[in-house]
Chain A
């Protein structure tokens, strides 16, 4: 059990309902400083909804979120000044250049201009955008925009960083770069909260992993803990986190279906979901 007082991110009974659908259901979690927390779950599990509530973009139906001890709902502006956020889709102002956007974010956060310019130079060099920094963002590709968004979040050197599926749309080299950057941030005492549905990322990067399904946190711990805890049977067989993930989120039954669909010569195979007619 973590001491509440040390937690940088804390969710208490966080709940979001859309009509009858509970997108997030009584979520409790806490993240310590210097930790990379991986939020793992299938599509539609409630990852984005949770992150939006934690960063103060979405009001919870009930429950509370705290960032560095600040109640997000009560003082969103204070909470937002200590956190950085990267959304799942990198929408940017198409009529600004990359450098202008970063400068804009720096001014919004009232960072000292001289330091901002230095920091922009560093970040642009880091993400290999130095050559393109004076072009309009409208001409940037998805991955380049994603990198600009990450740079925006890193600009103010926030205590807490939230990233919603950060590596989606990035080429392997950039994805690797992002992972290294996040690790360095955590090592320097920063806190990183990232969501993903890619198991490999959770396995390789995260100090702790929470698995969410249908809005409920169904397991939490280090990858080792999760392995030892929840997968009995299959003695001796080396199993990956994928097995674990599928088992926990009830994905196992699809295995057979997929196998069934991909087996050739099966006359009823074309009737399943995703089948072609």
Chain B
């Protein structure tokens, strides 16, 4: 297996040194890494305080304390599992099947297994790097708050890696079989997308079911269902195995870890070994067939299209039409949008559940303001996650075919407006549907038209920011397929995603400023409380659009004429 290590070393070297990258790309990568570290530290610090607080408050009730801790730790693991499925599918696919060097390597006199093995390991490393900051710091914080020794950290690290290995191994197995046996590119991608959605739904539904358990009134039953009961109810999830495995080694939790360890070690070894040994037979054929298009049945053209019926022309409409056609034909997009819609659905469900339990007393205006802000922001967040992979990076997604636009008489403003419209569509659609949906529920919130304005303005702000960032930091190696080659495109999409989250955080601050300072406004400023922040939000969106059509459009003009 010398050749495998050779290939892997090459991969890691080029990753670490960032060879062949421009300064701009390096700055992007470094800031992303920094962001990752900050995220991990923030999460660790926050949960450390939380665990410490639990210790102070429930010191006298160790059972209850343990139950809450189990609940928190398992929730964090579930989140890691969701992330691992969400990103792992795409990342493994990209690394194993779309790395640009695979074709070259498979032509060399090395076994296909070695090439697969190297790509398998490097995608595992990428997956671990992507998901670790979301979950590992929580365990570290728990250990620190409980004052546990070094052994705990070693065990946790091992169990955490095993958890990721289980995900990665199973994902690889699904991938390698789907790529080998399903005909046609579209079917392959659809299958891959839907198995990921299925995985995520499984996690979410079991979470929901176990939340139902805790609705009885008896305090001991609540403790039981919060802690060990939850673990028992979700026995089939790898996230739970990991929680059991680590907590089983500690006293006072009443959890047995043997089963957890056995399941983790067994499944990770089995799935990794199986995909590794099957790759000798399946990898080459699957890789070679990855781009196969099955000839569609001859489509009959509409007569009007043939004879050239009325069509909106010019760069704006034709680019938008072209992008939307690609949108409809890209299974990845449906996957992302479906995941976002599922997320939004769960959010709405939880909100309604919580509202149903709450007291019937009329909530105070501040609470309504916070709630309405949340209602505005949630659909935009979900839409923003979708557009971060579609419209928000659609300039980069022009990829190698960008010359077509550049060689045609296309104005930079028209083009940037088309990309902006494309980026704005998902958050706008989610917002409108959600606001209308809220009209039919009894959830306490502000006025309908304020929600609409908020949704439109925040969608515009998020889209404008994404497109502007895409113009200033384009990455034309981002492929139109299931993401990009290697790990570069991931950074690009993450940048787009984080920037929209940051924008939403800013919008949240804008919307909640009056609530924070409401004493100043006096009790009677109901209108100011509700409408003023929305006007401010509108101004923010308009400002960003001004930036987009001014400086960003000028930058795009440079790209169009010099690259």
CB of A166 to closest CB in B, whole Å: 14
CA distance A201 to B318 in the complex (A): 36
Contact B326 A108 (CB under 8 A): no
Contact B401 A92 (CB under 8 A): yes
Q: Return the CB mask of A76-96 against B: 1 if under 8 Å, else 0.
A: 111011001101010111111
B299: which A residues are within 8 A, CB to CB?
134
Which stretch of A114-122, A219-227, A268-276 is in the interface?
Answer: A114-122
Contact B311 A113 (CB under 8 A): yes
Q: Is B229 an interface residue (CB 8 A)?
A: no
Contact B326 A95 (CB under 8 A): yes
Contact of A58 among B301, B305, B313, B562 (CB under 8 A): B562
CA distance A81 to B563 in the complex (A): 19
CB of A193 to closest CB in B, whole Å: 14
CA distance A135 to B291 in the complex (A): 14
Q: Is B405 an interface residue (CB 8 A)?
A: yes
CB of A54 to closest CB in B, whole Å: 11
Contact B325 A96 (CB under 8 A): yes
Q: Is A139 an interface residue (CB 8 A)?
A: yes
CA distance A89 to B399 in the complex (A): 13
CB of A126 to closest CB in B, whole Å: 18
CA distance A204 to B92 in the complex (A): 51
Known: A107-B314, A108-B315. A95 touches B309 (CB 8 A): no
Known: A107-B318, A135-B295, A138-B185. A55 touches B407 (CB 8 A): yes
Residues of B389-424 at the interface with A, using a CB-CB cut-off of 8 Å, are 399-401, 403-411
Q: Is A104 an interface residue (CB 8 A)?
A: yes
CB of A263 to closest CB in B, whole Å: 30
Q: Is A100 an interface residue (CB 8 A)?
A: yes
CB of B153 to closest CB in A, whole Å: 48
How many contacting A-B pairs (Cβ < 8 A)? 112
Contact B330 A95 (CB under 8 A): yes
CB nearest to A138 among chain B residues: B293
Contact B561 A92 (CB under 8 A): no
Query: How many B residues touch the partner, as a band?
Result: 35 or more
Contact A117 B307 (CB under 8 A): yes
CB of A91 to closest CB in B, whole Å: 4
Contact B400 A95 (CB under 8 A): no
Known: A91-B399, A107-B318. A80 touches B307 (CB 8 A): no
Q: Return the CB mask of B540-563 against A: 1 if under 8 Å, else 0.
A: 000000000000000000101111
Contact B311 A80 (CB under 8 A): no
Contact B296 A135 (CB under 8 A): yes
Q: Return the CB mask of B290-326 against A: 1 if under 8 Å, else 0.
A: 0111011011010001111111011101110110011
Contact of B301 among A85, A108, A110, A134 (CB under 8 A): A134
CA distance A73 to B560 in the complex (A): 11
CB of A163 to closest CB in B, whole Å: 12
Contact A80 B322 (CB under 8 A): no
B301: which A residues are within 8 A, CB to CB?
99, 134
Contact A112 B399 (CB under 8 A): no
Contact B563 A57 (CB under 8 A): yes
A114: which B residues are within 8 A, CB to CB?
307-308
CA distance A55 to B407 in the complex (A): 7
CB of B149 to closest CB in A, whole Å: 56
Contact of A80 among B306, B310, B408 (CB under 8 A): B408
Contact B480 A95 (CB under 8 A): yes
A101: which B residues are within 8 A, CB to CB?
404
Known: A95-B325, A95-B329. A104 touches B407 (CB 8 A): no
Q: Is A152 an interface residue (CB 8 A)?
A: yes
CB of A102 to closest CB in B, whole Å: 11
CA distance A81 to B314 in the complex (A): 12
Known: A91-B401, A113-B311. A57 touches B409 (CB 8 A): no
A93: which B residues are within 8 A, CB to CB?
322, 326, 401, 404, 480
Q: Is A175 an interface residue (CB 8 A)?
A: no
Contact of A96 among B317, B322, B560 (CB under 8 A): B322
CA distance A91 to B397 in the complex (A): 13
CA distance A82 to B403 in the complex (A): 16
CB of B474 to closest CB in A, whole Å: 15
Contact B407 A134 (CB under 8 A): no
Known: A77-B410, A94-B480, A110-B313. A117 touches B306 (CB 8 A): yes
CA distance A76 to B412 in the complex (A): 11
CA distance A101 to B408 in the complex (A): 13
Q: Is A7 an interface residue (CB 8 A)?
A: no
Q: Is A56 an interface residue (CB 8 A)?
A: yes
Contact B308 A113 (CB under 8 A): yes
CB of B6 to closest CB in A, whole Å: 20
Contact A112 B325 (CB under 8 A): no
Q: Is A59 an interface residue (CB 8 A)?
A: yes
CA distance A87 to B313 in the complex (A): 24
Contact A87 B298 (CB under 8 A): no
A6: which B residues are within 8 A, CB to CB?
none
A112: which B residues are within 8 A, CB to CB?
308
CB nearest to B481 among chain A residues: A94
Q: Return the CB mask of B475-487 against A: 1 if under 8 Å, else 0.
A: 0000010000000
Q: Is A136 an interface residue (CB 8 A)?
A: yes
Contact of A87 among B295, B403, B563 (CB under 8 A): B403
Q: Most A CB atoms within 10 A — which of B292, B293, B405, B411?
A: B293
Contact of B563 among A58, A78, A117, A135 (CB under 8 A): A58
Q: Is A17 an interface residue (CB 8 A)?
A: no
A110: which B residues are within 8 A, CB to CB?
313-314
CB nearest to B291 among chain A residues: A138
Contact of B411 among A77, A100, A107, A116 (CB under 8 A): A77
CA distance A138 to B185 in the complex (A): 10
Contact A56 B404 (CB under 8 A): no
Q: Is A105 an interface residue (CB 8 A)?
A: yes
Known: A96-B322, A114-B307, A138-B185. A105 touches B408 (CB 8 A): yes
CA distance A107 to B318 in the complex (A): 6
Q: Is A109 an interface residue (CB 8 A)?
A: yes
Contact A81 B409 (CB under 8 A): yes
Residues of B316-359 at the interface with A, using a CB-CB cut-off of 8 Å, are 317-319, 321-322, 325-326, 329-330
Contact A139 B295 (CB under 8 A): yes
CB of B279 to closest CB in A, whole Å: 25
A135: which B residues are within 8 A, CB to CB?
293, 295-296
Contact B322 A104 (CB under 8 A): yes
B405: which A residues are within 8 A, CB to CB?
108
Contact A109 B311 (CB under 8 A): no
Contact A109 B329 (CB under 8 A): no
CB nearest to A97 among chain B residues: B299
Residues of A137-168 at the interface with B, using a CB-CB cut-off of 8 Å, are 138-139, 152
CB nearest to A107 among chain B residues: B318
Contact of B326 among A57, A96, A115, A117 (CB under 8 A): A96
Contact A80 B409 (CB under 8 A): yes
CB nearest to A99 among chain B residues: B301
| Top-5 shortest CB links A-B | A113-B308, A91-B400, A139-B293, A59-B562, A107-B318
24 CB contacts below 8 A, A to B, read A57-B407, A59-B561, A80-B408, A80-B410, A87-B403, A89-B400, A92-B401, A93-B404, A95-B326, A95-B329, A96-B322, A96-B325, A105-B404, A108-B314, A110-B314, A113-B313, A114-B308, A116-B308, A117-B305, A117-B306, A135-B293, A135-B296, A138-B291, A138-B293
Beyond A96-B325, A109-B409, 20 additional contacts (C-beta under 8 Å) are A58-B563, A59-B561, A59-B562, A76-B560, A80-B408, A87-B407, A91-B401, A92-B401, A93-B322, A93-B480, A100-B322, A108-B408, A110-B313, A113-B308, A114-B307, A117-B305, A117-B307, A134-B299, A135-B293, A136-B329
